Amino acid sequence: MEKKRIALLGHRFMGRAHSNAWRQVSKFFDTPYEPVLQVVCGRDQKDLQQFADQWGWAEVETDWTKVMARDDIDIIDIALPTHLHAETAIAAAEAGKHIFCEKPFCNSIAQAEAMLDVAEKAGVVHYLNHNYRRCPAVFQAKKMIDAGELGEILHWRGAYQQSWLLNPNHPIDWKLRKKTAAAGPLWDLGSHAVDLAHFLVGDFSSVTCQTTQFQKRRPLAENPSKKGDVEVECSALMLAEFTNGAQGTIETTRYASGRRNRHTFEIYGTGGALTWDMEDMNRLKFYSEKDPRETAGFRDIMVTEPVHEYVKNWWPPGHIIGYEHTFVHAAADFLRAVESGQRIAPNFADGVRITKVLEAALNSSESNARVFL
Amino acid sequence: MEKKRIALLGHRFMGRAHSNAWRQVSKFFDTPYEPVLQVVCGRDQKDLQQFADQWGWAEVETDWTKVMARDDIDIIDIALPTHLHAETAIAAAEAGKHIFCEKPFCNSIAQAEAMLDVAEKAGVVHYLNHNYRRCPAVFQAKKMIDAGELGEILHWRGAYQQSWLLNPNHPIDWKLRKKTAAAGPLWDLGSHAVDLAHFLVGDFSSVTCQTTQFQKRRPLAENPSKKGDVEVECSALMLAEFTNGAQGTIETTRYASGRRNRHTFEIYGTGGALTWDMEDMNRLKFYSEKDPRETAGFRDIMVTEPVHEYVKNWWPPGHIIGYEHTFVHAAADFLRAVESGQRIAPNFADGVRITKVLEAALNSSESNARVFL
Amino acid sequence: MEKKRIALLGHRFMGRAHSNAWRQVSKFFDTPYEPVLQVVCGRDQKDLQQFADQWGWAEVETDWTKVMARDDIDIIDIALPTHLHAETAIAAAEAGKHIFCEKPFCNSIAQAEAMLDVAEKAGVVHYLNHNYRRCPAVFQAKKMIDAGELGEILHWRGAYQQSWLLNPNHPIDWKLRKKTAAAGPLWDLGSHAVDLAHFLVGDFSSVTCQTTQFQKRRPLAENPSKKGDVEVECSALMLAEFTNGAQGTIETTRYASGRRNRHTFEIYGTGGALTWDMEDMNRLKFYSEKDPRETAGFRDIMVTEPVHEYVKNWWPPGHIIGYEHTFVHAAADFLRAVESGQRIAPNFADGVRITKVLEAALNSSESNARVFL
Amino acid sequence: MEKKRIALLGHRFMGRAHSNAWRQVSKFFDTPYEPVLQVVCGRDQKDLQQFADQWGWAEVETDWTKVMARDDIDIIDIALPTHLHAETAIAAAEAGKHIFCEKPFCNSIAQAEAMLDVAEKAGVVHYLNHNYRRCPAVFQAKKMIDAGELGEILHWRGAYQQSWLLNPNHPIDWKLRKKTAAAGPLWDLGSHAVDLAHFLVGDFSSVTCQTTQFQKRRPLAENPSKKGDVEVECSALMLAEFTNGAQGTIETTRYASGRRNRHTFEIYGTGGALTWDMEDMNRLKFYSEKDPRETAGFRDIMVTEPVHEYVKNWWPPGHIIGYEHTFVHAAADFLRAVESGQRIAPNFADGVRITKVLEAALNSSESNARVFL
């Protein structure tokens, strides 16, 4: 099998998830290429080497610009903090590398459009890793919507709730600084929620957003004895209208007690409804207006059948998969896109689309008014 | 509307539930008669009068044999401890009264057969109040099974679990004495579970039962400073085979922490499955093998639609009903049976049938062997 | 027991629910008065008499002004369409009658303030029947919040979803006309949702609302062969901020497939979270930050214990109650307020408070801007 | 890191799961050795080579006796049909290899005792892969029980339900033949259920079992145009008593419509209750009698916190794991046992213990009597 060599930028949480995906993908999926874990880039030499040893990356590199210049690297995998996406993705595209880019896409519409523009001109495969699309239950939802099972969609009710900032001593790290993260949960969690809304409902025609700060001062990550300002919002609540007339809400917060990683949607159409929750990601709930009234009810579909996308590559029915499997699915589809030269979704165009919604939401929260897209 | 006068025997928990049923039935259901709360019988004159005042019983009576002799009484409602059912029911039948009898039916097969025999000869309407049959969700289950939605039934998994005896100081009252209660949860809870199995699956061909006593000594109800022997089992677990080949289990206990009144069944057939839990009595879960594999899952049916039996007499869809409504349904059907002269189920014949299963279970628990019916 | 005579205005859905409450209250609760179902008022003489016979109202009356003039009437129970509340409530107060008023309160802030003003001056007991406050699980939520179990409240996520307008042939009745209903689900369902938010969180400081119309033309109720304009919104989605800093959403719709009467809230505080759903009204879910992380999880509290408000008057633990019981609780508390002369909540002051929020929401939906209260 | 070379016997479903475990274990866990996928054994040369290529096994071998003779092999991993376990495990032990053996243990008590005897004499590490013990939620249950959270255990309610034999055309393969599988679901599923009961409750003192055959003839796997006899039971229901007095049931079937791989238990003790379902394997439900009655309820514990065993090696809270992760946990613990020389559980002694219960159950089903152990 032909090999494709990967350079991974970043070696924290997402670095692990991506490394695992590249390692696993050819074991469970029939891929056109064998991905090679060639080089991992980072700034902390010691941590970097340990990470490379652990995950089987052949080389380490502290200067990411060097890997762009290498002929033997086919794929740049960006798993860095958000503010570093634009620079690295643009360099990768200019070097003719295919790009597997972690979300959130970038910090601004300007960056987003530049990234898309360069990638398109370079003709590389560009992928934006909103991995939840590749959860089999979410894919199944999409399939059902496309088949008309929900009729015309009327309502979207999305939320992405976490609780880690309830700890008042959680320090200010890159996720709580405007420069590095662009915004708070709106960006980090809201980008996922908006992506699913794009995937399952369509384009937004307007957004109205309300943000707040529950805790303004926190210890600094680099010096916990000192406090600094939290520069991003603590929660962001949105109203949305879609171009097809559907009405929606999206709620994002890091202050929802009891919710660890609750990414959920409810979709209501003229023909039925679907609901999903990432914390029970193998399940999809489905109500059909076609069922006789007497026996109608939300069906608790265990999306673990061979007929469900991605599932037959794993285990028999009823044997659930977990969080990291969505990354493996993304890696499989990405390699196929590299082979076929066809677009994979979501991609940088989706990144632009999402960033426009998120920026409009930020503008709305400042103007206290609805913003039309 | 013609009136039917009722004499109620007993004025504790079941006395309240029955009184409420007679008061409510003509308000919500179209009944052929107006039930009149004529006389309530009991031994404690003071409590009795207070109860009569509270619930609107016109008279009180401390000698129940007198009400049997009265021409103006049409219906005897037996809400007494189990060991008093046979004597009172037989007297009522001999006096030509229609009988609304609380469960458990009686203490032995001999009593049961005598009760049925006399009632049949007298030609009165006899009803045994296994009220859960008239929970709309259970009725819906029956309807679906009769319509073939489950195909051939293969498995019954029933349980009736409570937890009140976890309190080591709960005293020995009539429910913990063999003479008054016949047995423990096997009789009290198991009679309900067996009745639902009869209703939804069919006749038993064998039972195998294992009982135990977790706590053998408890304070006496009449003198809590003294302790006495618990005379009945604390839990009873049963294996069952049905004449149609279905395989089943029934578990009853008063020692299941966290379960208040969990009466539940799971039925699996060649065509699908149904599950129900009294603690969520307005819901029925249904899996259909006819659903496409891709979108199959247990449906959470909210049994609150006008098409569901009994429901249209109450509130609009989604507005749930509660425990006591099942008694109102029983009262409505009972009055219709009095008018039509047709049998109502369950009746004393079902009482005989249930008692035979329960006695076989007791025998099995003593012999450590399967008992064929 | 002293009697209090009631005149009921209205004899449809709410007329039934109120009649049942007055009939049941003294059976299950220790009330200071015996409520007497004296007279029911309505315009359709034939239906009215049938209703009176069914429910035991002693008299019928087609001119409601006459009952205001009667000395023997103590309580006016208003179960009419919304636009008739102000006139009747004001007349009742001026006549010195205690008032039990169904929701929504009225059509405008002007009406609301006049109603409150007159009732206060008259010194009568005035009650606004947002009955869900008296669901034992909701009451328990309030008790826990007041005891500090949630710490400082950060998020409110409310929704009231129904689906009856998915039927395109559902006709235009009073609920779909602006004059009679003031608005659509915002008023009918949103008033309940706002009341619970008031009860459990506190006052609103701002609202932002987005409404839409999914179906603009429908058959006329009075002549189904003709179509007319739906004059009220089909769905209303709101963002809210509370004076205590909490951030909230409220969603109301009659177009949510699969939802019959789903009235739900999620409350997140610094110390824990609570969620509730009217379709499973006997349950309250509770997450506590005090639980050890290892064994923390949302508790599924079955609110059917004697220690739970109202519950000990009904049945033993695990025996659930239904929708209409909340009305019985309201009747019990109302009669106690009549005796004590103390305020009962919610009352007309709450009606004013709710109406202000709802009108602000309507204004917001027209201006596309956040409205501060 | 020192290497340990593995020979895998078998390359079907379990061969995949084991291969993945050996590949993943050192990436996510801190292991004392690096497991080397040295050689995979099987009879079908072509399939075998393809499997080896796919999963990275260095060599293939069609004669398993040869790998026993090799000095460079440290670990024998048995993933063969049940009837081949005894011969291969005994050979492995005699060759001084550590043994990682898939369940069910073997076909009879005689085999089981021989396997244990030889393994003990050889002083090798022997492990029996009842992997569900290493589901973090099950491990957490054990920890809570050991800490006394449930008090004295009174009830065990176990079930392992699948539905694949509802397909009448599913052919007779090794799992439906007595010689190869020993028994039906009793052996295949029941061994897991008994293992969890051993783990969480303790030793059995008696079993009573009822088996049945729903479909006696099926197509032959090797020639689907011909039918043969199903030689094993279709369902097995058991009553159990434990030496500590706890009362239990265990139900196993391959005919439960809607259940894909529902392996569930409910445990009730004097101090609380725990329930678990493999289909939602990341959750544990816990009721504590210590909680105030007012706020007590089953807690839905998401077992995805760093404090939960095995979890911190995977992903952040709320990011669930799947079925195959339990095998990785087993591999990690196995390698540690190889290093420390300490016993790992479950092991061949547990295999003997389980086999005794299962054989007693088979005997009970034939004699229709309770069998004491």
Q: What is the ipTM of this complex?
A: 0.96
**pLDDT band, very low/low/confident/very high, at B331 (cuts 50, 70, 90):** very high
**pLDDT band, very low/low/confident/very high, at A1 (cuts 50, 70, 90):** confident
For the segment A232-260, the average pLDDT, to the nearest whole number, is: 98
> Which of the residues D257, D259, D262, D293 would you substitute to probe the B interface, choosing the one with the greatest number of B C-beta atoms within 10 Å?
D257
Does the pLDDT of residue D47 top 90, yes or no? yes
Which residue in B157, B214, B253 is closest to D251 by CB distance? B157
CB contact under 8 A, D318 and A259: yes
pLDDT, tens digit, for every residue of D50-106?
A: 999 999 999 999 999 999 999 999 999 999 999 999 999 999 999 999 999 999 999
Q: Which of A64, A297, A236 is nearest to C262 (CA)?
A: A297
Does the pLDDT of residue D139 top 90, yes or no? yes
Distance in angstroms (rounded) separating the CA atoms of residues C132 and C240: 21
> Which of the residues C132, C257, C261, C328 would you substitute to probe the B interface, choosing the one with the greatest number of B C-beta atoms within 10 Å?
C261
Distance in angstroms (rounded) separating the CA atoms of residues D107 and B43: 65
**pLDDT band, very low/low/confident/very high, at B334 (cuts 50, 70, 90):** very high
Size of interface A-C (CB pairs under 8 A): 123
- The CATH superfamily holding the domain A135-319+352-372 is Dihydrodipicolinate Reductase; domain 2 (3.30.360.10)
> How much is the pLDDT for C1?
85
For the segment B221-250, the average pLDDT, to the nearest whole number, is: 97
Q: Which residues of D touch C298 (CB under 8 A)?
A: 299-300
Q: Which of B353, B112, B361 is nearest to B235 (CA)?
A: B361
Q: Is C372 at the interface with chain B, CB within 8 A?
A: no
pLDDT, tens digit, for every residue of D154-178?
A: 999 999 999 999 999 999 999 999 9
Q: Is D157 at the interface with chain B, CB within 8 A?
A: yes
Does the pLDDT of residue A37 top 90, yes or no? yes
Residue B317 DSSP code: T
Q: Taking CA D79 as the corner, what is the angle to CA D78 and CA D80, rounded to the nearest 5 degrees?
A: 100
Distance in angstroms (rounded) separating the CA atoms of residues C199 and C196: 5
Which residue in D19, D317, D324 is closest to A261 by CB distance? D317
Q: Do the domains at C3-129 and C133-344+352-372 have one common CATH topology? A: no
Q: Is B310 at the interface with chain A, CB within 8 A?
A: no
CB contact under 8 A, C296 and D294: no
Distance in angstroms (rounded) separating the CA atoms of residues B141 and C291: 40
Which residue in D295, D300, D308 is closest to C294 by CB distance? D308
Which residue in A298, A299, A305 is closest to B293 by CB distance? A305
- The CATH superfamily holding the domain C133-344+352-372 is Dihydrodipicolinate Reductase; domain 2 (3.30.360.10)
pLDDT > 70 fraction of chain D, expressed in percent and rounded: 100
Cα dihedral: A17, A22, A27, A31 (round 10): 130
Contact C64, C88 (CB under 8 A): yes
Alpha-helix runs per DSSP H in chain D:
13-28, 45-55, 64-69, 85-94, 109-122, 136-146, 178-181, 185-188, 190-200, 325-340, 348-367
> How much is the pLDDT for D1?
86
> How much is the pLDDT for C55?
97
Mean pLDDT by 10 residues, chain C (373 residues): 96 96 98 98 94 97 97 98 98 98 98 98 98 98 98 98 97 96 97 98 98 97 95 98 98 98 98 97 98 98 98 97 98 98 97 98 98 97
Q: Is B372 at the interface with chain C, CB within 8 A?
A: no
pLDDT, tens digit, for every residue of A248-263?
A: 999 999 999 999 999 9
Distance in angstroms (rounded) separating the CA atoms of residues B263 and C30: 31
Chain A nearest-CA residue for B290: A291
pLDDT > 70 fraction of chain A, expressed in percent and rounded: 100
D177 vs chain B: nearest CA distance in angstroms?
22
CB contact under 8 A, A166 and C270: yes
Q: Which residues of A touch C287 (CB under 8 A)?
A: 257-258
**pLDDT band, very low/low/confident/very high, at D251 (cuts 50, 70, 90):** very high
pLDDT, tens digit, for every residue of B263-288?
A: 999 999 999 999 999 999 999 999 99
> How much is the pLDDT for A67?
97
Q: Which residues of B touch D270 (CB under 8 A)?
A: 166, 255, 257
At D302, the amino acid letter reads M
For the entire predicted model, the pTM comes to 0.97
CB contact under 8 A, D279 and A260: no
β-bridge pairing D59-61 and D34-41: parallel
> How much is the pLDDT for B1?
86
For the segment A175-192, the average pLDDT, to the nearest whole number, is: 97
> How much is the pLDDT for B230?
97
Which residue in B55, B317, B322 is closest to C322 by CB distance? B322
Alpha-helix runs per DSSP H in chain C:
13-28, 45-55, 64-69, 85-94, 109-122, 136-146, 178-181, 185-188, 190-200, 325-340, 348-367
Report the CATH number of the B133-343+352-372 domain: 3.30.360.10
For the segment B178-182, the average pLDDT, to the nearest whole number, is: 96
Distance in angstroms (rounded) separating the CA atoms of residues C226 and D16: 67
Largest CA distance in chain A: 66
| Three-class HEC string of B29-64 | CCCCCEEEEEEEECCCHHHHHHHHHHHCCCEEECCH
Which residue in D296, D297, D301 is closest to C295 by CB distance? D301
Q: Which residues of A touch C235 (CB under 8 A)?
A: 154-155, 247
Beta bridge mates, C160: C252, C263
Contact B322, B131 (CB under 8 A): no
Distance in angstroms (rounded) separating the CA atoms of residues C341 and A292: 52
Size of interface B-C (CB pairs under 8 A): 88
Which residue in C255, C271, C287 is closest to A268 by CB distance? C255
**Residues 207-226 (B) with a CB less than 8 A from some CB of C:** none
- Which residues, other chains included, contact D35 with Cβ-Cβ below 8 Å and sequence gap of 6+? D3, D4, D6, D22, D25, D26, D75, D331, D335
CB contact under 8 A, A247 and C237: yes
- The CATH superfamily holding the domain C3-129 is NAD(P)-binding Rossmann-like Domain (3.40.50.720)
Q: Which of C188, C67, C212, C52 is nearest to C130 (CA)?
A: C188
Partners for C (CB, 8 Å, 3+ pairs)? Answer: A, B, D
Q: Taking CA B314 as the corner, what is the angle to CA B309 and CA B319, rounded to the nearest 5 degrees?
A: 100
pLDDT > 70 fraction of chain B, expressed in percent and rounded: 100
> Which tokens belong to C236?
């209303």
pLDDT, tens digit, for every residue of A311-364?
A: 999 999 999 999 999 999 999 999 999 999 999 999 999 999 999 999 999 999
Q: Which residues of D touch A324 (CB under 8 A)?
A: 314-315, 319
Which residue in D154, D208, D251 is closest to B210 by CB distance? D208
For the segment A41-59, the average pLDDT, to the nearest whole number, is: 96
Chain A nearest-CA residue for C267: A256
| CA atoms within 13 A of residue C361's CA, in its CB half-sphere | 34
CB contact under 8 A, A295 and B307: no
Domain D3-132 is in which class?
A: alpha beta
* Average per-residue pLDDT for chain A: 97
Buried b vs exposed e over B121-139: b needs ≥16 C-beta within 10 Å? Answer: ebebbbbbbbbbbbbbbbb
Q: Is B166 at the interface with chain C, CB within 8 A?
A: no
* Cα-based distances in Å from C234 to C190, C231, D234: 12, 9, 54
Partners for B (CB, 8 Å, 3+ pairs)? Answer: A, C, D
* Average per-residue pLDDT for chain B: 97
> How much is the pLDDT for C9?
98
> Which tokens belong to D278?
């493999």
Reduce the DSSP state of residue A213 to 3 states and report it: coil
pLDDT, tens digit, for every residue of A112-146?
A: 999 999 999 999 999 999 999 999 999 999 999 99
Chain B nearest-CA residue for A274: B295
B55 vs chain D: nearest CA distance in angstroms?
29
Report the CATH number of the D133-321+352-372 domain: 3.30.360.10
Whether residue A346 has a cis bond before it, omega within 30° of 0:
yes
Domain ranges in chain A are 3-132, 135-319+352-372
